[in-house]
Structure 1
Amino acid sequence: MRLRLSLIGCWLITWLIWSADVSAQPVEVSLTEYDRLLRATYTAAQRGDLLEVRALADDLTTIRQVRMPDGQIAPVDQSWLAEMLAQPTPDLPLISARLGALIDALEPTGSAVAADALQHWEAVFNEPPFNRSQSESWLTRFLNWLFERLADLLPDLPDVPEAPVAGDSSPISGIIWVMLAVVALLFAGLLLFWVRGVRRVFQPVTTAASPTTDPVTFAAAQRLAEAARQAGDLRNAVRYLYLAVLLWLDDQKILPYQPSLTNREHLQRLQDWPALRDQLLPLMTTFEKTWYGLQAIDEATFAGYEQQATSLFKQVRSPNEAAS
């Protein structure tokens, strides 16, 4: 009886140790499966489908290791995606930009296109609003800035005499009170200025109402671009005009448009059309800086952007003309 109990106890201990070891193993997937999840999440973020992004992120954030084609194991960490989705209003354009950068980074080592993509994304993320310092909180940066401004504005305080004699009518105490009042007014003015700046930063951008799905034809994309321009929404106008360019190239049987591909991957497929690739590159750069980088665009800049697109439309009338 005792022997049987001892055997059962040993079996239970062995099973618990094995279960703990299995549960501690990190989730590992192949590079193909990892790339598929990244592209699916990227496509959902491009569409603005928050529910689909959350569902895919549940699988993506559990991955800790990726097995490369040569058998090596590469550690990955997608905790940034869970943190961004935990915000009250997740920034889907920024999530899409970061996922696109990850997809471009999976290009084979030494690829000129991958190096070009990395340089491009570094340029985008080094511009506002992506270059915010993560080392200090906003409150610490504000207090440091406030104290520096006060130190620049305030004059050196005069030496305060020792305890004044009772009944002394020295004007020193009055000067100190006046200076304290000036400091209080300066502090109140700086605080009001900061509050107005914060409200301006977090004020939602009003844009023209856009459809829930992207257009699938060149004519529809052009109509949406023109409607957005008439409404004063130049940011969406740039996006729809860029989409019209891709759909136009698809209509001409030159570049099949696939929403799951990144802009760099579309550009890479024009290696046999160097002149056309050079025309598409500035259009893509302006779109990404305006849409993902939130760079402001005025009527004059948009007019130049529209002229570039029109020039491409006129040049590419058929695959034969583009090849020449």
Structure 2
Amino acid sequence: MRFRLSLMGCWLMIWLIWLPDVSAQPVEVSLTEYDRLLRAAYTAAQRGDLLEVRALADELIAIRQVRMPDGQIAPVDQSWLAEMLAQPTPDLPRITARLGALIDALEPTGSAVAADALQHWEAVFNEPPFNHSQSESWLTRFLNWLFERLADLLPDLPDVPAAPVAGDGSPISGIVWATLAVIALLFGGLLLFWIRGVRRVFQPVTTAASPTTDPVTFAEAQRMAEAARQAGDLRNAVRYLYLAVLLWLDDQKILPYQPSLTNREHLQRLQDWPALRDQLLTLMTTFEKTWYGFQAIDEATFAGYEQQATSLLRQVRSSNEAAS
């Protein structure tokens, strides 16, 4: 009886040791399945569905290898998605931008379109807030420089004895304490100034999340763009106006609009319309810098953006009238 119990215990220990090795095997999916998950997560992030993004992220994070059509295995790592979703308020526009970049990167590596897409996304991510060196204000850089200079001026503290020596009147001790007092006062003043004036520099953008519902018609998108403009929310006004252009092109049977496609993929479908493609590229660049890159936009810039959109719509109307 004891022999049987010992034998069962050995088998149990072997099974427990072997189990982590089995569970640690990397999850492998096909390129088609990987592309499907990326597009589903991209669409959910675009419409601001955080619950759906988290559910799809669990599947994406578990994937470690992607099987390419030629049979080769490509390693992937979506740990960045887990880190961004672990934040108290996940930045859905930034997640959307990175997922869109991954989808664009799945294009054939040797094509000119893929190279153009890579250059475009590098331009977007090299601007604030993705590029922290450019997003730092002049005050932040000044404070960093000031603290570095103070650290250089601070003398090395002498070795302090374990117990104070009676009658020690060394002048070095007084200099050290005076220096520390000045630094404390200076730091307190800078901290007070920081709390009162600098906090607004780092105030988060209140419109960072995408709206829960997007317009489905050209007229609806135009109304929402005008309402956002009247409310002073030019960032959302740019987004709705860009959606209005895409919905208009869809109504004219020129460019079928699909929310699961990236902006770059929509642009690729206008290869037979080079002039129209160039106009849409200009609108798309402004939209992505404003929406994903949080680039500031004023009323004058928005008026120019609106004029570009109107010119594109006018060109499409003229082409349709000439064809009819």
Q: What is aligned with 1:111?
A: 111
Residue 246 of structure 1 deviates from its aligned partner by: 0.4
* Deviation (angstroms), 1:2: 11
Secondary structure of the structure 2 residue equivalent to 1:28: strand
Question: For 1:24 and 1:134, how far apart are their aligned partners in 2?
Answer: 40
TM-score under structure 1 length normalisation? 0.82
**C-alpha displacement at 1:248, in angstroms?**
0.7
2:66 is paired with a residue whose SS is: strand
- Cα separation, 2, equivalents of 1:196 and 1:230: 31
- Name the structure, 1 or 2, with higher relative contact order (CA <8 Å, separation 6+): 2
| Residue 132 to residue 210, structure 1, CA distance change in 2 (3 Å) | closer
CA contact (8 A) 1:105 1:118 kept: yes
Cα pair distance change 1:205/1:6, threshold 3 Å: closer
Per the alignment, do residues 86 and 211 of structure 1 end up closer, same or farther by CA in structure 2, a change over 3 Å counting? closer
TM-score (norm 2): 0.82
Output the CA distance in 1 between the equivalents of 2:180 and 2:13.
72
Contact 1:39 1:103 in 2 (8 A): yes
The residue number in structure 1 matching 2:35 is 35
CA apart distance, 1:167: 14
Paired residues of 1:208 and 1:233 also in contact (CA < 8 A) = no
Q: Please give the alpha-carbon distance, in whole angstroms, between the structure 1 residues aligned to 2:32 and 2:208.
A: 39
Change (3 A) 1:197 1:271: farther
Structure 2 runs not aligned, ≥5 long: none
User: Which stretch of the first structure deviates more once superposed, 139-148 or 295-304?
Assistant: 139-148
What's the offset of the Cα at 1:85?
A: 0.6
Is this contact kept in 1: 2:42–2:260, CA < 8 A? Answer: yes
Shift of 1:111: 1.4
- Structure 1 window deviating more from structure 2 (141-150 vs 259-268): it is 141-150
Deviation at 1:189, TM superposition (A): 2.7
Cα distance per residue 1:28-57 (max 9 Å; x no partner): 000000000000001000000001101111
In the TM superposition, residue 291 of structure 1 has moved relative to its aligned partner by 0.3
Deviations 1:275-315 (A, max 9, x none): 00010111000000000000000111111101100101111
Q: Secondary structure at the match of 2:215?
A: coil
Residues 31-40 or 207-216, more deviating: 207-216
Residues 321 and 114 of structure 1, relative CA distance in 2, 3 Å threshold: farther
Residue 148 of structure 1, CA deviation: 2.7
- Higher mean alpha-carbon deviation, 193-202 vs 112-121, is at 193-202
Root mean square deviation, CA, Å = 5.5
Mark the runs of 5 or more structure 1 residues left unpaired by the alignment.
Answer: none
More divergent stretch after superposition (205-214 vs 150-159): 150-159
Deviation at 1:63, TM superposition (A): 0.4
Equivalent residues of 1:253, 1:319 under 8 A apart = no
CA distance in 1, matches of 2:304, 2:246: 18
Counterpart CA distance in 2 for 1:198 and 1:53 is 34
**Superposed displacement of residue 203, structure 1:** 2.4
Q: What percentage of aligned pairs have identical amino acids?
A: 91
Q: 1:207 to 1:101 in 2, by over 3 A?
A: closer
Deviation of 1:133 after TM superposition, in Å, equals: 6.5
- In the superposition, relative to structure 1, how do residues 162 and 199 fare at CA in structure 2: closer, same or farther (>3 Å)? closer
Question: Deviation of residue 76 (structure 1)?
Answer: 0.6
